[in-house]
Structure 1
């Protein structure tokens, strides 16, 4: 069964999908995470580039693969898979919703404007 999922994931990854509501590449930071968890803690940076998602936490970077499926963001790592429903918020905010281990998870992100960040 897991082989079927892996095959399906890579087929989706290689297909020409319409990008979701995020204009890629983009870098985001986690503002809030409900419930509080270590997967996506406030202050973490998420950078979408190509088909790779880099998550920076305490100076360490983890790399994941991702693909858009309709309005959902599918993220795959060595140990876990997530499927987030996305919802645009006010301004440059984005919400990700996920069922994780039977508990709903809500993550609020804000886009980082690299040019403004570098000037300060």
Structure 2
């Protein structure tokens, strides 16, 4: 009877190690963060993001509004007079001129996810 317990324990240990290996192997910089309780991508966690989520981590704005990633948006921002010529991006998204502008976008991120957004890298 004692031998069965040891075999069971050994089997559980190997299963635990295998599960841990799967978890750690799945972690990478290209993973997409998901909103708690949802399978929808929130944001890519790496700097060379895949544009699979709703948030552009690199630039700190929603992907759909990121003129730095989607050049087709540039003319819309320029037509609206929302353009920083010095930094070649929408003025409303120019955190170089005014870091406080990020607060508006951060509030949107927090409202959707319940936590603070990553700081833009660019």
**TM-score (normalizing by structure 1):** 0.22
| Greater C-alpha Rg | 2
Larger RCO (CA within 8 A; separation ≥ 6) = 1
Bigger fraction of residues in helix:
2
TM-score, normalised to structure 2, is: 0.22
Name the structure with the higher strand share.
1
